[in-house]
Amino acid sequence: MGMFVGTQRINSLGHLEIGGCDTVELAEMFGTPLFVIDEKLVRENCRKYRRAFEEYYRGEARVAYAAKAFISTAMCKLTQQEGLWMDVSSEGELFTAMAANFPSNRIYMHGNYKTDEELRYSLNVDVHCIVVDSIDELYSLNSIAKSLGKKARILLRITPGVEAHTHEYIRTGQVDTKFGIQLAGAQAFEATKLALSMDCLELLGFHCHIGSQVFEIEPYRITIELMVEFMAQVKEELGFVTRELNLGGGLGIRYTDTDDPPSIEEFIKAISEATMEECAKHSLQLPILIVEPGRSIIGEAGTTLYRIGVIKEIQGVRTYVSVDGGMSDNPRPALYGARYRAIVANKADREPDFLCTIVGRHCEADVLIKDIKIAKPEKGDILAVLCTGAYHYAMASNYNRFTRPAVVLVNDGKADLIIAREKREDLIRNDIIPERLLNEDKQ
């Protein structure tokens, strides 16, 4: 597999092109740092998920885009057009979806601690279902639903005792996590019983999520075995028939050449087959099967364009190449030690033979990429960091009072702004100087 994905290619000028747009021109037109999103690739990823379910799962299936990876009103439109559902995990994400007229009856509401306000809001806009994360939440949701004269549709989030991240996974009876209700020690069973006894709750089924940037299918198989076994137990002992089984998100993507995740098709095929096999084994009807992919929909479709500024060579040590963004638009290297590929966009056809370290402009080490080979950079060049669609803009901050970048959607030579660049004025929009401090000015 080469360096590029989706519509990325090198054009006749030797520049990186995405969605038929020259990235050097995009940088000129919209400024830097700039997030560029390849619309075709986003749509293709959505379709791959849906097609794979159609091909491999005999029951009904849903793909709920995990908004936390990247959400904006335009992204809501895109996912809606592709027939996806949505997983939101806060009032703000839900508000964004509502502002874009995303159908509320296609939304799953998440969160380990949803405030009463969020629960009320979710019920008022009539989301498809609230994924309840704790026993406490069962009580508060039931009473809020009662006070609104509503019945809340819910899934119970179960912690199956399987935890997976990238190449490793662990399987234990209990998992040390703030999320979900433990399958171990009959807690999930008791919670199910409780949910079924509550007047204003309607239990639809169960949810689980075992990790993110997962490269292995095996932990999903084990999870499905455990979840379906649980479905069989609640049917047997409580007469409850599970209508929905939501397996969360987590499929990994390829940030660097050493990353080797299964394809969307392989992933969906494996979980569909495992669910059908396990249900047959326990003579259960097939539940509606749901997945909540975030990263694998939007991650590889995003590219960050920066302008290169100061280049500093520390004799015999390394060369630091600074770009005009950093941890405020990409906190992942600092948070997770994440690695990236990058290319000098205006020298995309040149040999990447210059070893350097890419740093941001924040008042910290702010290393974006340690020891990477790129074409020999000069001040003013455009650096494209690949695979920055998921959890980048979504996790961007105003640290050092940087303004958040713009996001542009590209397709067939068209480039449309979908999130405007923040202005300096936006930074002080919520600042207030109390009267008594103003008075001090007079002295």
Nearer to ligand LLP, 120 or 209 (CB): 209
Shortest Cβ 245–ligand LLP spacing (Å): 14
Residues 6 or more apart in contact with residue 254 via CB below 8 angstroms:
1, 5, 260, 261, 300, 387
How many residues of this chain bind ligand LLP (CB under 6 A)? Answer: 21
- Does 296 sit near ligand LLP (CB under 6 A)? yes
* HSE-up (13 A, CA, CB side) for residue 270: 18
Q: Which of 66, 154, 284, 419 binds ligand LLP (CB under 6 A)?
A: 66
Using CA atoms, how far apart are residues 202 and 153, in angstroms rounded to an integer?
5
Amino acid at 92: G
What's phi and psi for 303, nearest 5 deg? Answer: -135, 140
Report 202-231 residues binding ligand LLP (CB under 6 A): 209, 212-213
Shortest Cβ 293–ligand LLP spacing (Å): 4
Using CA atoms, how far apart are residues 35 and 349, in angstroms rounded to an integer?
22
Contact 182, 161 (CB under 8 A): yes
Using CA atoms, how far apart are residues 392 and 382, in angstroms rounded to an integer?
19
Using CA atoms, how far apart are residues 29 and 24, in angstroms rounded to an integer?
9
Nearer to ligand LLP, 231 or 396 (CB): 396
Q: Which of 36, 42, 69, 156 binds ligand LLP (CB under 6 A)?
A: 69
Q: Which of 39, 82, 87, 91 binds ligand LLP (CB under 6 A)?
A: 87
Nearer to ligand LLP, 96 or 213 (CB): 213
The binding track of 381-420 with respect to ligand LLP, each residue x by CB under 6 A or -, is ---------xx-----------------------------
Shortest Cβ 173–ligand LLP spacing (Å): 21
- Does 300 sit near ligand LLP (CB under 6 A)? no
Give the active site residues. Answer: 363
Q: Which of 433, 400, 386 has the alpha carbon at shortest distance from 38? A: 386
Sequence-ordered alpha helix ranges (H) in 57-152: 73-81, 91-99, 116-124, 135-147
- Does 137 sit near ligand LLP (CB under 6 A)? no
Q: Which of 33, 294, 325, 405 binds ligand LLP (CB under 6 A)?
A: 294
The binding track of 274-293 with respect to ligand LLP, each residue x by CB under 6 A or -, is ------------------xx
Structure tokens at 183: 């399958």
Task: List C-alpha distances in Å: 404 to 31, 128, 177, 294, 423.
Answer: 12, 32, 32, 21, 8
Which residues contribute to the site for ligand LLP (CB under 6 A)?
66, 68-69, 87, 110, 209, 212-213, 248-251, 292-296, 332, 336, 390-391
